[in-house]
Structures are given as C-alpha cells and as structure tokens.
Chain A
C-alpha cells in the first residue's frame, strides 16, 4: 500500500478509537450502544499491535526469523512439533482463556462499566500482552523452559522458590473460587445440576471412544460428545419438570461442595485419557464456539448498556465485594487485563510448537488481545442487564437480606429499581426457581448471555440459552479444577520428592493418594468456608485470587526485567518494569487494605475482631453463632495468607533489583542461559505454507 494512504488509514483508526472511547467515557445518564465498546476495543488493539508490539518484537527483543526454535531443534513428532502459526495461536488461546475473563469483569461491573472497561483495554495492551509475549520469547530462547526454571537459572534459588510457591498457592485459591462459582450456579437448580453432572459420563464416553473404540479419531469422538452435551442441556428441562427426578438433582450448596471435592479427587487420580483429556476437548470446542456466537450476537443485536458509567460503589461500599475503586478494580479484573497464570502457558507449553520467532508477536501479544476482547464481551453481557437485576442476582443474602422483598427494597433504594415480580418472571423465563443471591458471576453472565442470544436468535428459548451458558461456564471451570488439582498433585509430589525420593514417584499409589488428598483438602477447605459464609464467600476469595494472580504476573515480569537488564537492554527494560511497578503498587495496596483496613467489609482482621465481639456479646442469631468460630479462624488465615503473598512478591522484586544492580555495576552474576544460535532450515518448508 502507498505510504501516505497507509498513514491516513492509521489516523482514521486512531480517530475512530478516540471517538469511541470518549463516547464511552463521557456518556452520562443516557444508555449507550454496546457497539462502541467493540469499536473502541478493536481500534486500541490494532494500534497497539501494529506499533507497540511490533516495536517490542523488532527493537527490544530483536526476534530473529533465521534462528531455529526449540520446536525445530527438538522435533520429535509428539510434543515438540513445528506447527503453522495459526494452529499455534489456536492452541495458545485455548490454553490461556478460561473462566477468569468472564467472572472478573462481571463482578467489577459493580463500579459501573467504565473503570473495568478502561483497565481491560489499557491493562492488556501495556501489561498483559507484553508479559505473555516477552515470556514466550524468553522461553523460546531457552529450550522451552518453564517460568520457575528460568527464575532459578537467571535470578537464583530465591526467585525460583518464590515462583514455585506462588504457582502452587494461586492454584489452590483459584480452584476454590472457581468451585464456589459452580456451586452457586447449581444450588437448588435441578436443571443446571443435571446438565453439569451429565458432562462427567459424557466425557468418559468420549475418552473410551478415543482410546479404545476408534483410537486417535479425535474429531469423531468430540462431535459425539458435543451432541450429547447439547442433548443434556435440553434434557435438563425434562428433569426439572419431573416431580421425582428433580429431587435427585436439587441440593444444598454444601452437598454440592462435597461432591465437587470428591470429583476433584477422582479426577486427580484417574488416568488422564478417561476424564481430563476428553473433557478438555469438549470444553475447548464449547469455549471457542460460544465466544464466537456471543461476538456475532453482540454485533448483530447491538444491545444498549443499561449500567451507569460509574456507580456510587467506587467509595468501597459495594454489595458484591468491599473495597474502593483503587486498587480493587485492578485486583478483581486480573485475567482479561493481566494474568500471571499465562506466563506458565507461554513458557513451557507454547514454545514447543512455535516454528519461527517472528510469530511470537502474533501468538503472545495477539493471543492476549483476544482474551482481553473476551473480557470486554463479558463486561457487555453484565451491563446490558438492568442494574437492579444485576445487583439482585449478584448480592449475597448477607449484603441485602435473605428475604426477596427486603432485597429489592434495599437495591431500589440505591437507585437501581427492581421488583420481586420482575425477578420472579426472569427466574421463570430462565427455568429457575429463584435468581436472588446467586453470587459468583456465572448466573448473571448466563442471564446476560441468554438475553443477548434470545434477542438475536429468537426469544422462545431463553431457558435453554440460560442453561447452555451455565453448562458452558461449568464445563471449563471443571476442566480448570481437575487439571489444576492434577498439576498441584504433581508439584507437591515433586517438592516432597526432595525430602523423600519415593514420594516423588508420580505413579506410586500411596504418594498419589496422599498428595491428591492434600491438594483437594487445600482448596476444599476454602470452598467449604466459602459455601457456609453468609456473605457468599466470593467477596473474600475473588480478591485473594486476584492478588495471587497479579503476584504471579509480577514474578514473570521480574524474571523478564532481570533478563532484559542482563542482556544489556537496560534502556528498554521499562516495557516490563513499568507494568511491574504498577502491579507492585496495586497488589501491595490491596493486600495492605485487606490486612489492616478498619472497615469490616475490607479488612480481614477487623472483620474477625468484629465477629468475635458480636459472638461474645451474644448478638448473633443462632445459625450464625454456630459457624462464627470457623469464620473467625478463616478470616485470620486469609489475612496471614495475604501477608505471605505480599512478602513473597517483595522478596522476588528485591532479588531482581539485586541482580540488576550487580549487573549494572559490573559485579559477577549468573550467566545468561540463552541457547546458542542455530540457523533454521524450515524457512521455505511445508510448515510456513
């Protein structure tokens, strides 16, 4: 294209993007069209990708397309396979995109649509995408080593150990909070419980088909699985309407929590081919299919956003979770803006498929852009609901009262009118008995998605769409849950193996059972407390997860900054040091407030003291008094856990600064572990077609 024409095009994109953002930001009072969100996102992404990402790849990282990647050098036809860039992109995206970018924005919508949307857009292009891309690059240059290994090799044993502990703890908290999201979606909902339970035998059937009936026929088996899943969504209605069958699937939260723990334990010890692998196939198809469908529906329907730009809850009094806009919007939306967990995929897994370094920009940076886009769509789905309805679904009984009339009165008094009839009608349309206090984000997202799908593709099937959306979220939450439990088991076996080598044998049954039980007990404890907590549990667990995830991101950025400085790129180290500084500020502030705030909705210790005082003075109702000692212990435990996270974070930051200081002042440091240059012979090969 002619140069001036190209400049004009980019100026147009920039103008359009700026217009869209100003419309989103300035609009007050009148509802705005969701299409502006899409336009703003696409413009910001294209400019960032074309200029910032390209500059980082060419100037800072200096990617070298003539250099052989680990996939080429260790090509074994199984895990190291040079693969076409779009296929790698697909694998990478499927691996990084989980339930996080759907839940976080839904919860953060309590501040209004604006703060979350801006953080998703700018956090991603300046932070999350850079982290993913740089980590992918560094791991590619180091024989596809994992983040923990790179931290050990480049920073030293302290950094490596901190990365290991962070990964393990984030896994425990993540699984607990995701388990809680599923429990809240299934509580007293026979339809949802049936559909979610049905995914287990369906996955097993698919697993047996792939392994024994028709070995390796992945697509055949998956097609069968997808058809059965859709049938289970429709079949759930029959169960729900049947007087006796519905009782089989109508359960209290606590019963469901115990079942999920039993399931997680089984998944960690059963062979992967039976449950984990087939479930993963099914959830990946569902994920990609549904997200595409949602994008098409939003573009076709162009719904209006009903949530105000900013709500009064930025002052910290929000019913969904306590805490002011700063720093809690940045903690609540981790995935979708910057997610430390991605660095575990970008190191280790994806580099084994990458055929050429020049694709790092598209896969690392581009993959995260797409995840950020998913978060924007989740934000749209949450904010097209009437705000009153949104708050009624997401506020716990502890925040607005367990009586429907009390809840609507309180929510309407905030300025978000809603009536009991409205909620009853909505529940009926969605095939549920009630939608009050369904915390965790999944149900309100499902209502939002169902109303978008319903309007775009026909209104008659609202209940089916709702349960389809619940199934879609549940299936990949459970995939994260069982894969996470298994990975946790392996990590624990590895750690214990250092003390007693026999424990490190991954197939020794006593070790398998012991480590799986420890991991399940770890997240099971937090899940249990979350379920019995009258405030819904999500208000405690989600911020804890956000802090842990941002801490892992900070560790990845520390490793990246350290390596950039060691590679004589001090001048450009700000590309990772700047997001690192921001993360250090927000996680430390959030952690400090969670520990020390005198507000009982925010501070763990003050909430524990308050509860203990109330218990001592006998002012608590009997039901709450019975669980109060457990809640008090848990609040104190959460406070100590948060403190551990923040200490861990600062240890690794200081360790990185120590390495950088020694490097700059010319003192001896650990050498760079970049593997030697080897020319690629794939340049004109089949793989680049």
Chain B
C-alpha cells in the first residue's frame, strides 16, 4: 500500500514538473555538462534552473482546443 502511494506520488510529481530540477541534476551528473551551457563545473541553482525551464516550456504551441 505504502509502495503504491509512493509510486502515485512519484507520478504526480513527474506529471506536474515538481521533480524537474532533480531530473536536470541527474542529467547533469550523467553528462557532466550543460548541453546549452559552456560552464561545465557547476549545475544551475534551483531558482535559476526553474526560470529557464519555465521560459523554454512556454515557447511554441502547447495547448489545444
């Protein structure tokens, strides 16, 4: 039961983008670099990452009728 609730929580976090920063950190650790960033030593802070992520997410057509 607890495992199921945990999975549900994980799905809700993934769907809403609540875990976006953690995904980014994982990706950074894997590639040791930001794809669009020349600075490869430290990842962005949570606030900075979120700003970029939100601005990028809102380019182009995202919603329909």
Contact = CB atoms under 8 A, between A and B. Distances in A.
Contact of B15 (A91, A272, A484): A91
B21 A341 contact: no
A135 to B, nearest CB: 13
Given A77-B27, A273-B54, A342 B64 contact: yes
Given A218-B16, A273-B54, A348 B61 contact: yes
B47 A345 contact: no
Contacts of B59: 490
A90 B12 CA distance: 10
Given A98-B63, A100-B65, A211-B51, A276 B58 contact: yes
B55 interface: yes
Interface stretch (A78-86, A253-261, A428-436, A631-639): A78-86
A95 B18 contact: no
Nearest to A222: B16
A210 interface: yes
A84 B14 contact: yes
Nearest to B29: A77
A216 B20 contact: yes
B50 A277 contact: no
A78 B24 contact: yes
28 contacts: A75-B35, A76-B27, A76-B34, A77-B23, A77-B27, A78-B24, A78-B52, A78-B56, A87-B14, A91-B15, A95-B64, A97-B64, A99-B65, A178-B65, A215-B46, A216-B18, A216-B20, A218-B16, A218-B18, A219-B12, A277-B54, A342-B64, A344-B61, A345-B62, A479-B63, A480-B63, A487-B61, A490-B59
A218 B36 contact: no
B60 A83 contact: no
A78 B65 contact: no
Given A277-B57, A480-B64, 5 more contacts: A75-B27, A75-B31, A76-B27, A215-B47, A479-B63
A332 interface: no
Q: Is the interface of B mostly helix, strand, loop or mixed?
A: helix
A97 B62 CA distance: 11
Interface in B16-47: 16-18, 20-21, 23-24, 26-28, 31, 34-36, 46-47
Contacts of B20: 216, 218
A576 B51 CA distance: 41
Q: Which range contains the number of B residues in contact with the other chain?
A: 35 or more
A272 B46 contact: no
Contacts of B27: 75-77, 81
Contact of B64 (A84, A211, A345): A345
A96 interface: yes
A95 B64 CA distance: 6
Contacts of B24: 77-78
Contacts of B53: 78
Contacts of B54: 210-211, 272-273, 277
Which 6 pairs from chain A and chain B are nearest by CB? Answer: A77-B27, A100-B65, A215-B47, A76-B35, A216-B50, A272-B58
A98 B56 contact: no
A280 interface: yes
A432 B52 CA distance: 44
A272 B56 CA distance: 10
B18 A217 contact: yes
Nearest to B13: A219
B19 to A, nearest CB: 9
Nearest to B63: A483
Contacts of A97: 64
B18 A219 contact: yes
Interface in A316-339: 334-335, 339
Contacts of B57: 79, 277
A628 B13 CA distance: 54
A335 B63 CA distance: 13
Contacts of A344: 61, 64
A349 interface: yes
A44 interface: no
B15 A90 contact: yes
A383 interface: no
Contact of B47 (A77, A178, A216, A281): A216
B25 to A, nearest CB: 8
Nearest to A477: B65
Interface string A123-138: 0000000000000000
A174 interface: yes
A157 to B, nearest CB: 21
B46 A216 contact: yes
B36 A76 contact: yes
A549 interface: yes
B5 to A, nearest CB: 15
B8 to A, nearest CB: 11
B53 to A, nearest CB: 5
Q: Looking at B12, B59, B64, which has the most chain A CB atoms within 10 Å of its CB?
A: B64
Given A91-B15, A549-B65, A81 B47 contact: no
B58 A341 contact: no
Contacts of A90: 11, 15
Nearest to A341: B64
B64 A98 contact: yes
B49 to A, nearest CB: 7
A74 B59 CA distance: 17
A483 B58 CA distance: 9
Contact of A348 (B34, B47, B60): B60
Contacts of B36: 76
Given A77-B35, A216-B21, A487-B60, A335 B16 contact: no
Contacts of A87: 11, 14-15
Contact of A83 (B14, B31, B35): B14
Contacts of A341: 64-65
A624 to B, nearest CB: 32
A87 to B, nearest CB: 5
A81 B23 contact: yes
Nearest to B58: A272
A280 B54 CA distance: 12
Contacts of B52: 78
B60 to A, nearest CB: 6
Nearest to B26: A77
A96 B17 CA distance: 18
Contacts of A222: 16
